Amino acid sequence: MRDFVRRRWKILFGLLVSLFFIWVSLRGLHLGEVGEHLRGAQYGWILPGIAIYFGAVWARTWRWHYLLRPLKPVSLAALFPVVCIGYFGNNVYPARAGEVIRAFVLRRNEGISVSASLATIIVERVFDGLVMLLFVFFALPFVGAEHIPPIYRATVIAASIAFFAALAFFLWMVFDERRASAVYRFFADRLIPARLRGPLDGFYARFLEGLHFLRSGRDVLMVFVTSVVIWLLETVKYWFVMHAFSFAISFIGLMLMNGVVNLTTTLPSAPGYIGTFEIGARVLEALGVDYGLAFGYTIVLHAALWFPITLLGGYYMWREGVKWRDFDRKNSEEFQAP
C-alpha cells in the first residue's frame, strides 16, 4: 500500500483537489433547480460556440508551430492532430499527461526531442497563465474585486507569483546562459548520481534549446498576442453557451470567469479538470447570477469544452496508433538519448 501511494501520489493528490472543489461547488446547491435550468436550455447555441473553440485550437496550433520554428519547421496540418491528441491526454489521463504525450508524438513524427518540445509547451503554459491574469486584472475595474470569491483570490495571487517567476527564470536562462549553466552544473555535481549525469546534461541542453526563441522580442510579442487571441476566442464560446440559458452578463464578466477558472485548473486535479472547472459557477454567482442557473451553465460549458476536442483527439490518437503503455518506455529512451 505504501509503495502504491508513493508511485501514485500525484494522482491521489489531484483526486483530493477535485473532491475539495466539488464540495465547494455543491454547497448550498439545489439539484432540482439545476435540472430545471438544464431542461429549459436552448442547446443550439452550443454549436457556434464549438466552431469558435476549434478556431482557438487552430490558433494554438499556429502558436506551437511558431515556437517550434527554431527547432524544425513543422506544418500546421501535421501539428493540428498532435495538439488534439494533447487535449485528449489532458482530458482523459491524470497529471496533465497530454502535454507529455504530444511531445512524444511530435518526436516520433518529426524527430524533435521531447525535452526541447516540452520547453516550448511549458512556455505556452506560462503565456496562457499570464493572459489569464491579464483577463482577471483587466476585468476587476469593471466588475470589482469582490466578484472573485475569497477562496479563489489566493489562487490568483499564487498564480501571479508563479507565472511571473517562471517567465523571469526562463528569460534568465536564455539571456545569461553561461551563468545558468554554471548554476545547473553546481547542483548537478552535488545532487545527481554519476550514471545519470550524461543523460541529464543532454536533457538540459535540449530543453535550453527549446527556450531560445525568448531571445527575440518580436517572437515573444507574437506568442503573447496569439495567446490573447486564443483566450478571447474561448471567451466567445462562453458567450455563445450563455445564450442557451436565461441570464446575461457582460463579455468582461465572462473574461473574469474564464481567467479565474483557467488559473484554478492549473492546480493538480482529476482528468478533465473535474471540480476545478466548476468553480466558475461561484464567479457567476458573485456577478449576480442565480447559483442553480450558474451551475447548470457551467457544467454544460464544461461538457461543450470537453467532449468535441476529446473525441477528435481520441480519433487522432487511434489513427496514429498511439497507446498509453508506450510512454513509460519512450520516456526512458528519451532520457537516455545522447
d(CA 277, CA 24): 12
**In a 3-state reduction of DSSP, which class is residue 75?**
coil
Determine the length of the chain. Answer: 338
Above 70 in pLDDT, residue 111? yes
Closest CA to 238 of 309, 300, 146: 300
**In a 3-state reduction of DSSP, which class is residue 277?**
coil
Would you tell me how many other CB atoms lie within 10 Å of the CB of residue 189?
10
Residue type, 134: L
Q: Which three cell numbers stand for residue 96?
A: 496533465
Question: Are the CB atoms for 258 and 279 separated by under 8 Å?
Answer: no
Confidence of residue 338 (pLDDT cuts 50, 70, 90): very low
d(CA 300, CA 297): 5
pLDDT in tens, 251-276: 999 999 999 899 888 888 888 888 88
Q: Which residue has the higher pLDDT, 228 or 199?
A: 228
pLDDT in tens, 24-64: 888 888 889 999 999 999 999 999 999 999 999 999 999 99
Check residue 45 and give its pLDDT: 97
Alpha helices per DSSP H over the chain: 2-7, 9-26, 31-39, 46-68, 76-92, 97-110, 114-143, 150-175, 177-191, 194-210, 217-242, 251-264, 280-286, 291-320, 326-336
pTM for this one? 0.88
Average pLDDT over residues 139-158: 75
Above 70 in pLDDT, residue 163? yes
Report the half-sphere exposure of 254 (CA within 13 A, side-chain side): 21
Report the half-sphere exposure of 68 (CA within 13 A, side-chain side): 25
Average pLDDT over residues 128-133: 92
Residue extents of the structural domains in the chain: 2-336
**In a 3-state reduction of DSSP, which class is residue 214?**
helix
d(CA 158, CA 139): 18
pLDDT in tens, 180-217: 999 989 998 888 888 888 888 888 888 888 888 888 88
Above 90 in pLDDT, residue 334? no
Question: Are the CB atoms for 239 and 256 separated by under 8 Å?
Answer: no
Question: Are the CB atoms for 261 and 283 separated by under 8 Å?
Answer: yes
List, in order, residues 6 or more apart from 126 with CB less than 8 Å away: 163, 166, 167, 170
Q: Mean pLDDT in the chain?
A: 87
Distance of CA 303 to the CA centre of its chain: 16
Percentage of the chain exceeding pLDDT 90? 51
pLDDT in tens, 85-105: 999 999 988 777 889 899 999
Phi, psi of 223 (to 5 degrees): -65, -40
Q: Which residue has the higher pLDDT, 48 or 140?
A: 48
Would you tell me how many other CB atoms lie within 10 Å of the CB of residue 19?
14
DSSP state of 272: G
Check residue 25 and give its pLDDT: 85
What element of type H or E holds 149? none
Average pLDDT over residues 165-170: 90
Check residue 149 and give its pLDDT: 66
d(CA 246, CA 289): 10
